[in-house]
Copies of this chain bind each other. A is one copy, B any other.
Amino acid sequence: MTEAATVRRSRITPEREAELYGAVLDLLREVGYDALTMDAVAARTRTSKATLYRLWGGKAELVVRAMRHHKPLRLADLNTGSLRGDLHALASRHDDCQMEQDSALIRGLAMAAHGNPDLLKALREYLVEPEREELRSVLRRAVDRGEIRADNPAAEYVMHMMIGAFAARTIIDELPPTQAFLTSYIDAVVLPALGA
């Protein structure tokens, strides 16, 4: 979060912020990104549009920060002592039902982001980059423990591998991504690619 954003957001309580993000995600599931309007968010949350714009700047940042808020666990907080443990923990952050809902939301946002530079920028700033930084911490710890080599060429592609599993599961297998699928994919693909 930028310093300016912290200052702006400090004017509402954390409880109110959480409530507002929940309403935004509900609306997002109901109508999708393109059809979601700040008017609808204002009406649903009984907030003025002026307040929404003052606190979040615009729809892209509001929606993406709602997604980010909803993630229950920062990877870096979770240090299981092994690379396999950390990656399995990543795959188990949500139960299967939440994961199916989230993958639909993220798919929708990724789609909408093509042709929408504001949304692409917000996605990268608030979802992709923090996730990537957390994965880097996981890999750094694995290097420090001697589990993988520091110059492993697969290290920079871990996020591509994981996103691929999420994105391709539905269309290739006609199945939602589940914890069981992701842990199997981590064991079969991610760890061997990293030479772990």
A interface, CB within 8 angstroms of B: 104, 107, 110-111, 113-114, 120, 123-124, 128, 132, 153-154, 156-157, 159-165, 167-172, 174, 184-185, 187-190, 192-195
Cα A193 to Cα B193 with chains together (Å): 4
Which residues of the other chain, B, contact A194 by a CB distance below 8 angstroms?
A: 192
CB–CB B167/A163 < 8 A: yes
CB–CB B114/A189 < 8 A: no
A32 to nearest B CB, angstroms? 10
Which 10 A/B pairs are nearest by Cβ-Cβ distance? A164-B164, A153-B188, A163-B168, A111-B111, A193-B193, A160-B168, A167-B167, A189-B193, A154-B188, A192-B193
With a 10 A CB-CB cut-off, give which of A164, A167, A188 has the most chain B CB atoms.
Answer: A164
CB–CB A192/B154 < 8 A: yes
Cα A110 to Cα B167 with chains together (Å): 10
Which residues of the other chain, B, contact A123 by a CB distance below 8 angstroms?
A: 171
A162 to nearest B CB, angstroms? 8
CB–CB A124/B171 < 8 A: yes
Cα A169 to Cα B172 with chains together (Å): 19
A162 nearest CB neighbor, chain B only: B164
Cα A184 to Cα B104 with chains together (Å): 29
A58 to nearest B CB, angstroms? 19
Sample of 18 more A-B contacts, CB < 8 Å, known A160-B189, A192-B194: A107-B114, A154-B189, A154-B192, A156-B188, A157-B188, A159-B172, A160-B164, A160-B168, A160-B172, A160-B185, A163-B167, A163-B171, A163-B172, A164-B167, A189-B189, A189-B193, A192-B193, A192-B195
